[in-house]
Each structure stands twice: as C-alpha cells, then as structure tokens.
C-alpha cells in the first residue's frame, strides 16, 4: 500500500517516550525568550554524563591515551594536577561531538529534539556542543547574545542547556534578561568583525560583550531594561533559549560544588549559516564549506525533518534524520508541518498544512 502524503513514516530518530511541548511552555518561550523543561533528560542519562565528566577530567577516556587515533585524540590530563585544578585549567570543551560518540548522542537526544521541533522545527540542524565543568571558584560570563557568535539566516538559533548538577545562585546558574529576545543583535565596535545586526539603522555598536565586568560590558545597559531572572535547575532539566536573549552566568562561589552542563546549539535546517565549517578530518566533505555559496551547512548534522541545503552525517551513527533515506524525508515533509496548539490536551502538535486553506484578510 502506498504511503499517504500526509502520513509520516517512522524514523529512527523518534522514540516512543517522546515529550511534547505544552502550549503554556510555547507561550513562555515566545514571551520571555527561554523556557525550562523539567526532567526532560532521564536520570540514567544524567548519571552517564556525570561519569563521563569525571573520566574526562581524570584522563581515563580511550581518546586521551597516546595510542588513540590522531583524528579522535583528546588532550592528555596532567597527572600532577588534581581534578579541581584540571577543571580550572580546562573549564569548558567545545565540539566534542566530532570526536566522541557520547557527545554526538546527547546533541541528538530524542527528547531534546522533540522540544526543538515545536520551537524552531520541524526541520532541525545540530550545530554545536559544549561541555562546561565550572568548578568551585570559577568565573562566569558577562551579558551576551548567542546569535552574535552563531548567525543563521533566517534567524532561528536556539540553545539547549542540560543541567548535569543541581544549579543555583551559589554555583553559577544562568541569568536571563527575560523578554530581551525582542532586541536586535548588537554588533561590536570594531569594523573588522561582521557580527550583529549592522544592517538595521540606529542599532549602536557595543564593546565588552561577554565580559563579566558590567562597567565594561556595554550590553549591561540593555539588560537593565528587562527583569533579570535567575534560572535554577535540577539534574535533567533543560533550558531552551533563543539566540537573541541576553543571558549571563556569575561566579561559582561555592566551595565544593561543580556546575556541570552539556549545551548544544541548533537552528532550523532551512536556515543558511557560515559558522563552524569542517575543513579536515573524517567529517570533512565536498559540502563542508561551499566556496560558491559560502555556506557551512554541510558541516552540521540534520537532526530532524528535511532540508534543501547540504548537511552532514552523524560520524558515530546516532539515529537522526540524516540517516533516513531521501525518499522517507520527502514523504514526511511533502507538505509543510505547522506547530499548532491542541485545545483538548494543551500540547503542541505537528499538523500538515491544508493546501486549500485560504486566508481571507
């Protein structure tokens, strides 16, 4: 029997325990620029992440050994240093999904992708991973906007911040300038950097972005226009936040508590980006950075949905839309799917657009 054009076929990136975004959570994200989804990542997954961070800081991973393949080798840890000293020396690590299967799995975590489908999808491109250790006594990061660093066009960037430890004001929780998602992305003063919305007349250039000193970080005056909200989280909670919202973290003033978190960034897979291209190694390919269009979409993994733009395969085979055959993706997305509120249960559902529906306005 042929498949119906509006009947999605099964995908290995879907799981039966999917988590739908509620209408109230959708409103919260659109209004404030962020939303916290409690206990989205199961306890057994958080336990795995905790063990992984401890093994990584102790230098016990196979990829940290001298005989590891060069393309996957991670820096060895100084055996003379304590785990706390190592965490201060390496407070965060970027892009390990290109070296470690575990990081690829958590970037493509099905329950995280479920929420992203309703926020920026149904087509989702996975861009970046970061593992934060933030040990006791470590500093924070000043006010900044993530789209400043990772521009996408159309502008669809979204972060997903998975709490590994319990997070509060004492060990360096994030702060959000709630509602500042309506702000443009403020460009830097230097003309040598192309970040920010320079094309909008009247948007002032700023200095000191991400600097913790509010007297230097000129985004502080923008953030002061909005309620500055502490975002506590428990292990397994995930904070989703848009690319324009101003956010920061403060110093970990605790004496014995880490603030570990696994953070990934995504955009709609139909958005064009020039960020994060791969030029060498096993993931490099003919479309990693297109010399004609200047796009780097071919360096990033298609997590959900479909796209007319290039994309990368998961290096370690984590289930995702990139592994679906092209015909499956086309049948699932022959028509545009919209994220719509279900008044019966309060959830956000994905519904195919009606081809004959007209707007009479």
Q: Domains of the chain (ranges plus CATH)?
A: 23-322 (2.60.120.620)
State the pLDDT at residue 245. Answer: 98
Q: How far apart are CA 19 and CA 125, in angstroms?
A: 19
Strands 301-304 and 141-144: unpaired
State the pLDDT at residue 5. Answer: 31
State the pLDDT at residue 191. Answer: 63
Sign of the four-CA dihedral 22, 23, 28, 31: positive
Position 341 confidence tier, pLDDT thresholds 50, 70, 90: confident
Q: Which of 253, 266, 315 is nearest to 129 (CA)?
A: 266
Q: Which residue has the higher pLDDT, 41 or 330?
A: 41
Dihedral pair phi/psi, residue 11, rounded to 5°: -135, 140
Chain-centroid distance of CA 359 in Å reads 35
Dihedral pair phi/psi, residue 199, rounded to 5°: -75, -15
For the segment 247-294, what is each residue's pLDDT rounded down to a tens digit? 999 999 999 999 999 999 999 999 999 999 998 887 887 778 888 888
For the segment 119-164, what is each residue's pLDDT rounded down to a tens digit? 998 999 999 999 999 999 999 999 999 999 999 999 999 999 999 9
State the pLDDT at residue 75. Answer: 83
Query: Which residues have a Cβ under 8 Å from the Cβ of 304 and sit 6 or more positions away?
Result: 13, 113, 116, 117, 121, 122, 123, 124, 269, 320, 321
State the pLDDT at residue 250. Answer: 97
State the pLDDT at residue 282. Answer: 79
Q: What is the pTM of this model?
A: 0.89
- Average pLDDT in the 28-39 region? 98
| pLDDT at 332 exceeding the cut of 90 | no
Mean pLDDT of the chain: 89
State the pLDDT at residue 4. Answer: 30
Q: How far apart are CA 189 and CA 16, in angstroms?
A: 49
The H-or-E segment that residue 340 falls in is: strand 337-341
Instruction: Give the three-state DSSP class for 169.
Output: coil
């Amino acid at each position: 029997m042929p498949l119906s054009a509006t009947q999605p076929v099964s995908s290995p990136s879907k799981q039966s325990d999917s988590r739908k975004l509620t209408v109230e959570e959708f409103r919260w994200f659109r209004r404030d620029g962020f939303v916290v989804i409690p206990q989205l990542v199961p306890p057994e997954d958080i336990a795995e992440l905790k063990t992984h961070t401890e093994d990584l800081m102790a230098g016990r991973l196979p990829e940290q050994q001298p005989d590891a393949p060069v393309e996957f080798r991670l820096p060895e840890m100084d055996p003379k240093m304590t785990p706390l000293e190592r965490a201060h020396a390496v407070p965060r690590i970027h892009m390990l999904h290109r070296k470690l299967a575990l990081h690829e799995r958590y970037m493509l975590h099905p329950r995280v992708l479920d929420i992203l489908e309703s926020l920026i999808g149904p087509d989702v491109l996975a861009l970046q991973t970061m593992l934060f250790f933030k040990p006791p006594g470590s500093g924070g990061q000043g006010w900044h906007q993530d789209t400043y660093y990772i521009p996408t066009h159309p502008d669809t960037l979204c972060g997903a911040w998975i709490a590994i430890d319990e997070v509060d004001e004492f060990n360096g929780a994030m702060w959000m300038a709630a509602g500042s998602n309506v702000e443009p992305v403020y460009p830097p003063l230097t003309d040598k950097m192309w970040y920010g919305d320079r094309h909008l007349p009247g948007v002032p250039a700023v200095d000191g972005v991400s600097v913790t000193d509010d007297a230097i970080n000129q985004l502080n005056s923008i953030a002061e226009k909005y309620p500055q909200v502490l975002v506590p989280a428990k292990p397994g909670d995930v904070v989703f936040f848009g690319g324009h919202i101003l956010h920061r973290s403060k110093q970990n003033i605790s004496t014995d508590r880490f603030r570990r978190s696994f953070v990934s960034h995504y955009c709609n897979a139909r958005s064009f980006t020039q960020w994060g291209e791969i030029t060498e190694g096993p993931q490099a390919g003919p479309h990693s950075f297109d010399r004609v269009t200047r796009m780097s979409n071919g360096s990033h993994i298609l997590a959900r949905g479909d796209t007319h733009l290039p994309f990368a395969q998961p290096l370690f085979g984590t289930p995702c839309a990139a592994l679906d055959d092209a015909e499956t993706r086309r049948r699932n997305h022959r028509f545009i799917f919209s994220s719509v509120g279900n008044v019966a249960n309060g959830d956000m559902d994905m519904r195919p657009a009606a081809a004959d529906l007209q707007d009479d306005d």
